[in-house]
Every structure is written in C-alpha cells, then in structure tokens.
Amino acid sequence: MAKPLPRTRDSAGSTPQWRVSAGLVPYRQAVVEMEARVAAISGGTADELVWLLEHPPLYTAGTSARPEELLAPGLLPVFQAGRGGRYTYHGPGQRVAYVMLDLAARGLDIRSFVRGLETWAIQTLARFGVEGERRPGRVGIWVAGENGREDKIAAIGVRVRRGVTYHGLSINLDPDLAHYRGIVPCGIAAPETLGVTSLARLGAAATMAELDAALAKTFADAFAGAT
C-alpha cells in the first residue's frame, strides 16, 4: 500500500508534478485518469499534477450546456464533461492543461483558483506578445480586436472533488477554428462581435513545446498571487 503523503501547504508547494502527453489522448481516458489522480491526491497518496495534452476533435458539454447550443449534431463526438460551463471544442493544435491541485493545502478557494487559471493564461500569452484580458460576465481569456470585436483565446472549465481541482484550461495555439461553428462556444451567441481566435491567427509564431515552456515558467507566480 502506498504511504500517504503529508497534507500541508508546504508539501503542496508551488510546483506540482508535470506530465506532457505525446499524441492525442482520448477524452474518456483522460477523465478516468484525472479522477483516479484526484482521489489519490485527496487520499494523500499522490502529488498534485499539471497534465498537458491534446485531444482528438470533439465537443464537451459542461453542466450548464443547453441542447440548442449544439448547432451541428453529429459533426463531432460530444462528451458530458461534468465541469462547469457550457459547450466547448477540443482538438489538435489546442493545448489542454488539466490542473489537479489541493485547494486547502494551497490556501485557495474555488474563486481564487479560477483567478489563478486566468492569470496563468494571461501571463503565458504575454510571452508571445498577446494581451489576454478578463471580461466581466464572460468566462475565459479574451483579446481585443478592431471595431469593438473581441475573441476568446483561452477557455476555462473546472470541477472540484474532495477539495481537489480537475479539468482546467485550454489555450488555442493553432486548432481548426472552423470546428467552433458547430457549437455556441461557452454560450456566447454574438458572432458579429465575439468569436474565437488562436495564437497562429494573431500572427504569434510559437510551437507547442514553446507554449508548454511558457506555461511552466508562469505557473508558480500565477498561483502564488491567487490567494
């Protein structure tokens, strides 16, 4: 039997274990692995984890998703995610970061954790010359364009079980943005003024490895200031 790890703020620290998966990880497989890891963290037998991966093309429906927001049924597989939020898209060229942290050990509540995710995305994007911003009443991170248009570049959806977070954040590096037309992304139906973008569309040259390196460098500072 694995020996439980001490559950203190110092043992959680500011740098969890990091895992980067090559290839495309099936969504159901990822959820099963996340749930097992969350249980182990909660039970004190595993360290916190940040898991970076890509999924095959799919839609996920959060707990607030509405049937009419799935505009193209049958286009891609749809999974009930169990996280907060509505419909979103995952696929190749998008970096998904599943974040499994012990909130109590870090002195965080769910609001401060989400703010940490937002800060993390903003600081990461800044390393590529992109100014990501929060918007009142809208989830995720946005970039301002011309004539009042705003586009989402990072999505956030979280769940907490026994005080441990999972799901997390996705940042669009260079996914197929056409797939977003099959849903109302995150419940926001205003295509004339609100859309979805990526680092590539904004002209920010970056590889997935460079994006991962930026995520690693900004993580500790983003969550240290979230309390």
- On whether residue 36 sits in a domain, the answer given is yes
Per the domain annotation, does 7 fall within a domain?
Answer: no
Could you tell me the pTM of the whole model? 0.90
CB-based contacts of 180: which residues, under 8 Å, 6+ apart? 89, 195, 196
Contacting residues for 133 by C-beta, under 8 A, at least 6 apart? 122, 141, 142, 143, 144
Catalytic residue among 50, 177, 184, 186: 186
Task: List, for residues 135-186, the tens digit of each pLDDT value.
Answer: 988 889 999 987 888 999 999 999 999 999 999 999 999 999 999 999 987 6
Does residue 169 lie within any of the structural domains?
yes
In a domain, 6, yes or no: no
In a domain, 8, yes or no: no
What pLDDT shows up at residue 10?
A: 35
Tell me whether residue 114 is in a domain. yes
Q: E strands along 25-84, which residues? A: 49-54, 58-61, 78-80
- Is 117 inside any structural domain? yes
**Does 180 participate in catalysis according to the annotation?**
no
Is residue 1 included in any domain, yes or no? no
Q: How far apart are CA 192 and CA 116, in angstroms?
A: 30
For residues 102 and 164, the answer to whether their CB atoms sit within 8 Å is yes
Our count of domains for the chain comes to 1
Closest by Cα among 156, 166, 167, 53 to 102: 166
Round to whole Å and give the CA distance between 204 and 223. 25
How confident is the model over 45-69, as pLDDT tens digits? 999 999 999 999 999 988 888 889 9
Each residue of 166-178: pLDDT tens digit?
Answer: 999 999 999 999 9
Domain encompassing residue 68: 15-224
Q: What is the CATH classification number for the domain harbouring 98? A: 3.30.930.10
